[in-house]
Every structure is written in C-alpha cells, then in structure tokens.
Amino acid sequence: MTPGLHHYLIVSALLFSLGLLGVVARRNLFVIYMGLELMLNASNLALVAFSRYHNNLNGQVMVFFVITVAAAEVAVGLALLVALYRKRQTAHVEDLTSLKL
C-alpha cells in the first residue's frame, strides 16, 4: 500500500484537530501557542501533499513563506509571552483578564 493523497490529508486533519483542541481547550498560553504551531504545520503538510500530487510547486513555495512568517511570529510571540510571564508570573489565560470589563 503506497500512501496516497488522502493519507496525508488525514494526518494533516488529525494534526489540525489536535492543534485546535489545544487552542480551544487548554489554558496555558504556551500550550495554546504550541497548538497554533501544530495547526500551521498541519496546513503546511496538506500544502506539500497537494503540491506533490498535483505536480505544482506553488504549494511548496507557499510553505516556505508560511515557515518564514511562522518563525518571525514565534520569535515575536514568545518574546511577548516571556515578557508577560516576567511581569505577571503566570502564563495562564484566566489570570490575564485585565482587559475584561
């Protein structure tokens, strides 16, 4: 059995769902963050798979972009998170409600 497109897509969907679950259900900012990364990478996987099976390189180029932007985003996001943690001594979303009325 050679892996077909749908195998990749299923893995990608599973990864995406796991990431989403992490984002929606977890309360720790770092875990949410990792969930986000997981979702990004799930979509990267889907893009690469499509690119491979449709013989079109656009998808892979797109993945490069995503990885680049994600790296930048991680740098900024993690920096923010660390700064926030230093200030508030917590990374739990329920403790970070100072904007709520």
Partner 1 sequence: MEHAAVVQHAVESGSKIQDLAWAILILPLVMAFGTAVLTPKNRTLSAAFNISGVVVAFLLSFTLFCVYGGQSVDATPFHWLPVAGLDAEIGLHLDALSTLMLMVVTGVGSLVMIYSTGYMHEDRSYTRFFSTLSLFVFSMLGIVLANNLLMLFVFWELVGVSSYLLIGFWYEKPSAGDASKKAFLTNRIGDFGFMLGILAIWSLAGTLDIAALKAKFVANPALLGPWAGLAGLLIFMGAMGKSAQFPLHVWLPDAMEGPTPVSALIHAATMVAAGVYMLCRLFFLYTATPGWPATLGFLDGVSAATIITCIGGFTALFAAVIAVQQDDIKRILAYSTLSQLGLMVMAVGLGAKTGDASASMYHLVTHAGFKAMLFLGAGSVIHACHHEQDIWKMGGLRSKMPKTFWTFALGTAALAGLPPFSGFYSKDEILAVALEANPIFFGVGVLVTVLTTFYMSRLVLVAFFGKPRGEGADHAHESPSSMTLPLLVLAVPSAFIAWLPLGEFLSGHFKPGHATHGGDILFGPFNHNPIAAVFGLGAVLFGFSLAYSLYGKAPTQDPLSAKLGLLSQAMRNRFYIDEIYDGIVVPLHNLMSQIADAIDRWLIAGLAVRGLSGVVEIAGRALRLVQTGSIQTYAFLFTAGVLLIVLLALK
Interface contacts to partner 1, rule CB under 8 A: 20, 23-25, 32, 93, 97, 99-101
- Min CB(2)–partner 1 separation in Å: 27
Cβ proximity to partner 1, 1 vs 99, nearer residue:
99
Smaller CB separation from partner 1, 27 or 61 = 27
Q: How far is the CB of 77 from partner 1 (least distance, A)?
A: 14
Nearest approach, Cβ of residue 38 and partner 1 (Å): 14
**What SS3 string covers the chain?**
CCCCHHHHHHHHHHHHHHHHHHHHHCCEHHHHHHHHHHHHHHHHHHHHHHHHHHCCCHHHHHHHHHHHHHHHHHHHHHHHHHHHHHHHCCCEHHHCCCCCC
* For partner 1, the closer CB: 89 or 94: 94
